[in-house]
């Protein structure tokens, strides 16, 4: 049985005009076009109605007894998202109509003999523009949601691989190292065999260290609110230990990030910024800084190197593109400031939600495989 399409919603309009006769005529003309129409004769009456309703379109006379001009729209709806509107203006007010268009009006209509004839067409055109804008916003929101889902899936896979490396492969390597240690006493009468077991044990210890490092790289931050601070501290310490640059982490006061999804991407942005500094800056110092003021988090990575070449400024590289992608996924703004011979600073700004009001979007935990069977040491 074919599905029956649901009827299109009836657009709700609010018409505001102090001329009672013209107000009635405009309302009737728009109702004849299938619109639901409410009316108001003053700005105060319109404001009262808007407190409890949200029309699809507002038709507003610019010369009301208690308000006029471009500031009237803002005064009508100070605490709500702006309602799309059409300006209704009298003869000689073309300059005001142009100004109100700059303030966000979709269109304007003159109070003349052609008003009632033109009004339905102008309203239909405005409603079509509003519908297109809503569809675009819906598509953008869906795009962001899907982007977050894709990144969440990637993070979940990282967690799963990291857990397998740490819990399964790491345990197997540790068990083999213990077996080598246990066999060394039995191999004492055989110097060549004992030497081989020493070499094997050393290689296993190196493999265990590399496995842990890989697991740590795949799961850089935990789920605790202070995990980002801990991860950045370890990142700075690890880079500093390489000896190529002096890397420090600064965090004047604790910065808590409740959402591990957000914390993970902030860490990756810092990690990529530091790697870029190591590869390209030719500087001697890298500073990672994390601050928060008035629920605005700022993560910055600055070096004292040569700065970006001018030829690379218009076309961001893959690393910068990935950082921008991560920033968009968490609703952050990424900015790169480069000064010739003064280094590069990468800054990421993120508005943090109140901890008690906005529950974090958590990455689902990975599926855990059963631990491997224990290996007996002889």
The answer as to CATH 3.40.50.300 being correct for domain 222-361 is no
Task: Read off the pLDDT of residues 244-266 as tens digits, 9 standing for 90 and up.
Answer: 899 999 999 999 998 888 888 89
CA distance 90 to 112: 8
CA nearest neighbour of 110 among 61, 43, 55, 40: 61
Answer whether residue 311 shows pLDDT above 60: no
Q: Which pTM value belongs to this model? A: 0.51
Sheet of 246-250: strand order equals 246-250, 285-293, 296-303, 343-351, 333-339
Higher confidence at residue 149 or residue 52?
Answer: 52
Q: What is the pLDDT of residue 369?
A: 44
Q: What is the pLDDT of residue 372?
A: 47
Higher confidence at residue 69 or residue 161?
Answer: 161
Count of H helices and E strands in the chain?
10, 12
Q: Which CATH class is domain 12-112?
A: alpha beta
Task: Read off the pLDDT of residues 207-216 as tens digits, 9 standing for 90 and up.
Answer: 888 877 776 6
Q: What is the DSSP string of 134-149?
A: HHHHHHHHHHHHHHHH
Q: Where are the domains of the chain?
A: 12-112, 222-361
Higher confidence at residue 231 or residue 101?
Answer: 231
Q: Which two tokens stand for residue 334?
A: 């990424």
């Amino acid at each position: 049985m074919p599905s029956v399409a649901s009827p299109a919603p009836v657009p709700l309009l609010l018409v505001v005009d102090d001329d009672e006769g013209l107000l009635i005529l405009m309302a009737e003309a728009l109702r004849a076009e299938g619109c639901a129409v409410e009316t108001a004769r003053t700005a105060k009456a319109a404001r009262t109605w808007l407190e409890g309703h949200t029309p699809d379109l507002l038709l507003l006379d610019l010369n009301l007894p208690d308000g006029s001009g471009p500031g009237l729209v803002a005064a009508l709806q100070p605490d709500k998202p702006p309602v799309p509107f059409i300006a209704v203006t009298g003869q000689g007010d073309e300059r005001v109509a142009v100004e109100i268009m700059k303030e966000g009006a979709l269109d304007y209509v003159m109070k003349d003999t052609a008003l009632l004839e033109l009004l339905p067409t102008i309203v239909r055109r405005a409603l079509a523009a509003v519908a297109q804008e809503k569809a675009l916003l819906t598509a953008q929101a869906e795009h962001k949601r899907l982007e977050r889902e894709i990144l969440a899936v990637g993070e979940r896979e990282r967690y799963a691989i990291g857990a397998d490396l740490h819990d399964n492969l790491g345990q197997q390597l540790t068990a083999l190292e213990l077996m080598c240690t246990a066999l060394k006493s039995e191999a004492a009468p055989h110097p060549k065999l004992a030497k081989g077991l020493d070499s094997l044990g050393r290689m296993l210890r190196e493999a265990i260290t590399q496995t842990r490092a890989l697991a740590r790289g795949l799961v850089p931050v935990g789920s605790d609110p202070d995990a980002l601070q801990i991860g950045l501290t370890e990142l700075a310490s690890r880079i500093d230990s390489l000896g190529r640059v002096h890397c420090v982490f600064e965090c004047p006061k604790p910065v808590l990030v409740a959402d591990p999804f957000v914390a993970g991407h902030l860490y990756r942005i810092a990690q990529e910024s530091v790697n870029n500094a190591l590869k390209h800056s030719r500087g001697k110092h890298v500073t990672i800084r994390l601050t928060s003021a008035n629920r605005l988090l700022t993560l910055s990575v600055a070096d004292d190197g040569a700065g970006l070449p001018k030829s690379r400024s218009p076309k961001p590289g893959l690393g910068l593109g990935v950082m921008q992608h991560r920033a968009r996924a968490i609703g952050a703004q990424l900015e790169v400031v480069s000064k010739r011979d003064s280094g590069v600073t990468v800054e990421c700004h993120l508005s943090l939600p109140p901890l008690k009001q906005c529950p974090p979007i958590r990455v689902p935990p990975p599926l855990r495989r059963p631990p491997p069977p224990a290996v007996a040491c002889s």
